Chain A
Amino acid sequence: MRPADNIDKLIKKLHLSASAELDERVHSEISKVLAESKKIKSAKLEPKIWRIIMKSRITKLAAAAVIIIAVMVGIHYFGGSINGASVALGQVMENMKKMPWLHGVIEGAYSGKPDRFEGWISFESRIHASKRPSGEIQYRHRDILNKYDPKSKTITISYMPNDEFRKMGSVWDYWESMIKHFNEGAAKISQEKSIYEGKETTVFKISCSPFGTPMEIKMTVDAEKNLPIFLNQKAFDANGNITIEANAYFDYPENGPADIYELGVPRSAKVINNLPSKEVSQILEMYGSHRESAPSRYIALVTNSCFDEKLDTFLTHGISVIYRNNKTQRIDEFRLPRTGQKEWRENWLTFKKEMGNTFESQLAWWKQNGEICNVDLYDEKFQYVVSRENDKWVAQPRKYMPLGDLRADNDLADFGWGVHFVSTFSGSCPFTIVENEYSKKHNVICVEITAQGRTGTDSTQQVWAVPPKRTRCYLNPERDYICQRFEQHESFEAPWQEDKTWLEHIEKNNIKKQWADNRVREVVEFEQTEEGQWYPKTIKSWNPADTHNNIISIKKIYLRTNPKFPDGIFDPENLPKANE
């Protein structure tokens, strides 16, 4: 073959390496820019940090107490909420950053059942390890979780991203809101001098309701080191009955476990690595980043329509108006006017024409003809809900929610980059990128997660079987990685179930099969904000198991970004008053 026949291949073979001198010159320039950038950032951050440091010692310690409970006890007793605990862990890290490790042993009883928990936290390295009497051991370093199951003698390595951490904004936001909460009297705090194991101590007595759970805490602080060393905690249900009582003992060692084996896991344990590939990790990061930067100042009018078989069309049965100003949010829900379903159906075409197809026309029509049935307000601290019941407004007790309103599917970020899609990525199931007809046709990335069927026992010793599940999230790189389609398929006869005999060892009469939840949600229309950000305009949801494959609902979003909000819209004082 003559050289000319291979010109393109020859040209692609050209290769030179940049010299060390060039590396040094360019990196030096980058360092200068980064140094400038960091100076600007730290200057912006400094006053905020300073304000926090200047808060009183009592509030600092009181906050620390709640945080420690959240981290050390909350993980154990509140249903293993790793994500929520990780948020709190961030606060501890800031508060106790001088301590390389926090080690704690918690002994207590949850609903009368005794239990014990031992944990280690390295704030600097973001390591969190725990050990339980059952032999279950967890070792978490950043987003990577190693979990040892003593029954199967297996370590499963999984990716566990912290979406709540992102949603919260920053650790400082949480910290500040917690301190404000105490300062504003939501917690009762008293202190007294005491002696604990021969040491001079201060005991703080705190009554509060972090995360909506009433608690009483007695925290003993080493007076010399100014660090908590012991605490007693009681949590109560709505009737005032004790649900949790625990004693926690803390110390601050120089070193902690370097890996899961140092916590006693045998080296011979089998390892299952479910970490996503580099490519999947990048996709997840993109998804999370876009979710984080979804529009946060807007008014969105969301229409909810269902298919009406008699009319063979979709009828809008209500709308939600979402007022969102960063973390503050109010949702007004309008329902059908009191014409009754029959009249609504008969007049639908007239109503539809009157409503028009714009933000303004829809809002005007529903304000004039609809009825507000629910108002939900979150003011960065409390959540207020008032509902219209039997012609009267009924107010629910406000809930303290310092981490933000974490309910799914109630803002634009959830519509496009739903946290429930993200959560399906976490856990111990392997992810794969698959190519199928839909992904090829729409040029989207399909992330597939398959879970095996499993059984569990409830408090009545009833055995429940959870069917094998497969979820597919189709992310659209051309539309800011919006989850364009989400499919969930559960089936007891799933072909991906590896152990086909998984239910055979259980007595048939003693097993209840969980309802198989099958659904598809697809964004069928996209739009862009003035700033160029994509968002879902029309979302259809249906049950693929429905033999008619009927679309069961349609959500349509009419968006106004950076609006002028109505005066007082976020003020709890302006909510409809109970009994009016």
Chain B
Amino acid sequence: MLEDRLLIWKFNRGNRDVLRRIYEKYKDDLVTLAAALLNEKNSAEDAVHDVFVSFIKSADNFRLTGSLKGYLATCVANNARNINKARQRYQNITLDEAEIVSSHSNRPEYTVMFGEELRQLTWSLGQLPYQQREVIILHLYSGMKFKAIAKSQSVSINTIQGRYRYGLGKLRLLLNGEVKK
């Protein structure tokens, strides 16, 4: 936390050397976040890459305030959402790939991406509507507060809490095997 303050302080004063430290510090967390949202590592890495490129290029034009980790997680989530929307549009119009869409969650890389131990969790997360999955991961994995998530998505905090509650309930049922796979 203290190091983050130092990084933000240096960054805001034009020290670009801190960019490497910021990337090294958060790269794994951000790739994990994006992969959990997108269920696929290559797209996740693309999302993180794009976020960092944009962050690096716009460094001179804005000042960071608040949490560095929260800021980067929000950017990655926004990017992942866009990728997901594009993917859905593509899937909706490509009838040939309908089968792939339906069996998407059973793809080998999806189930083993986070290791065998977490296979059931990753499969279950993949069954949730995207918006619910997003709130659960941002809150439980990235540690973002509901208020911050609501602000980043321009929706009310009640909506976010509702998505979290429903998503968590469904996830619980899926993990306990009470919902048919």
Contacts and interface: CB of A to CB of B under 8 A. Distances in A.
Given A13-B117, A279-B2, A286-B5, A22 B27 contact: yes
B27 A18 contact: yes
B49 interface: yes
Nearest to B23: A26
A26 B172 contact: no
Contacts of B86: none
A42 interface: no
A383 B20 CA distance: 44
Interface string A29-56: 1100110010000000000000000000
Nearest to B48: A22
Given A22-B27, A23-B27, A26-B52, A16 B175 contact: no
B23 A33 contact: no
B17 A7 contact: no
Interface string A499-515: 00000000000000000
Nearest to B45: A22
Given A3-B175, A10-B118, A289-B9, A37 B16 contact: yes
A18 B53 CA distance: 15
A4 interface: yes
A34 B16 contact: yes
Interface string B18-52: 01100100011011100110000100110011001
A309 interface: no
Contact of A4 (B2, B41, B137, B171): B171
A545 to B, nearest CB: 34
Interface residues of A, number: 34
A12 B120 contact: no
Contacts of A34: 16-17, 19
A23 B118 CA distance: 25
B68 interface: no
A2 B176 contact: yes
A7 B31 contact: no
Nearest to A32: B56
A180 B136 CA distance: 65
A289 B18 CA distance: 15
Contacts of B35: 16
Contacts of B140: 7-8, 11-12
15 contacts: A4-B171, A12-B141, A13-B118, A14-B114, A14-B122, A16-B32, A17-B28, A18-B27, A19-B41, A22-B31, A22-B45, A22-B48, A23-B27, A30-B23, A282-B6
A15 interface: yes
B2 A16 contact: no
B13 A293 contact: yes
A14 B126 CA distance: 14
B179 to A, nearest CB: 11
B150 interface: no
A15 to B, nearest CB: 6
A25 interface: yes
